[in-house]
Structures are given as C-alpha cells and as structure tokens.
Amino acid sequence: MAEPMGMFMGHPSQSLTVCSDTSCLRRRQAWQKGTVASEQQTERVLQRLEHNVDVLWTKHLDEREVSRKISSLQTTEALKNGSCIWHRRFLDATGRWVDKWIWLGYAKTGHKTYRPLHLVLCQKQGEAWITVLTVYDPSDSNGLWDKTFTQRMCWHTDPL
C-alpha cells in the first residue's frame, strides 16, 4: 500500500475517538463492514488503473475541486498513489451491482509536505470505466476522521 514519502502533520484537533452519539455508533458499525476487504479492493482498483481503465471525472467533481481549492492534478496524484479505505457493493434501483470505494491518497504540496485527499469512486456493473464522484480534504472536516484519515469517527456532518 502506498505510504506518503514525507511527514504529514495531522490537524491537532482531529478526533481520536469514535463519537459517542447513538446514531454515530450505529453508523460506525455499518462503516466497519466496509473496511474488512480494503487490501483486496485496493488491488482491484489499482489493477484497473494499471490497465488504463477510463476514468470519468464528473461535473460535480469539477465544482467541488474549485470550491475546495483542490486541483485536478492533486486529485489525479491521489488516485494513483492512494488505497481503498472503505468499499461497498450494492444493488441500485435498476438491479445493477454498484461498487463504491472511498480512496485515500496524498498530493504533494511542498518539500516533504503532503495533503490527504479522499476520492469517492464508483463503478456500475457493465461499465468499463471508473467514475470519480467527488473529492475532499478530510483534514478540513474537523472530528469526522481519525488522524490517519482511514477511520470515520463521526457522522454529524457530511463531508460530501
């Protein structure tokens, strides 16, 4: 799994414990089911990227990149060096299987400084491409993630 080459300084007030709210604890249990196969899912996505699968960048993504001051270059970098932190496979309303991944990668922002980025990826059954639904910097969402940005701690606000 890709590790950032330099030091990343986490946000000092980043939460280290799971939010104790009842609904967050329930969502935390559901979340953990999506983390059990992260390594296999990382391999699956990386294999597709290595075989030059088409990547669809949505209009929503463009808008989010602009409002969150994330460049397309940073998003591309994080896609290439990242890994899966959460995956779910579910049936959509039309009965097609959908794979959805939360992907954590890093974008270099200076000498030995990196910015963490979460990309939300999806691929529907029968589609030959991977769609990047959105991108955000988890260090901007205070208390939602642990300091490694791999574990979600709270659902009180939505990073998407």
Q: Kindly state whether residue 92 participates in binding Zn ion, applying the rule CB under 5 A.
A: no
Of 68 and 156, which CB lies nearer to Zn ion in the complex structure? Answer: 156
Please identify, among the stretches 28-36, 72-80, 125-133, 150-158, the one whose residues bind Zn ion according to the rule CB under 5 A.
150-158
Instruction: Examine residue 19 and tell whether it contacts Zn ion (CB under 5 A).
Output: yes
* Contact stretch for Zn ion (CB under 5 A) within 36-44, 61-69, 105-113, 147-155: 147-155
Is 156 a binding residue for Zn ion by CB under 5 A? The answer is: yes
- Secondary structure of 81-150 in the HEC alphabet? HCEEEEEEEEECCCCCEEEEEEEEEEEEEECCEEEEEEEEEEEECCCCEEEEEEEECHHHCCCCECCCCC
Residue choice 6, 16, 21, 58 for contact with Zn ion (CB under 5 A):
21
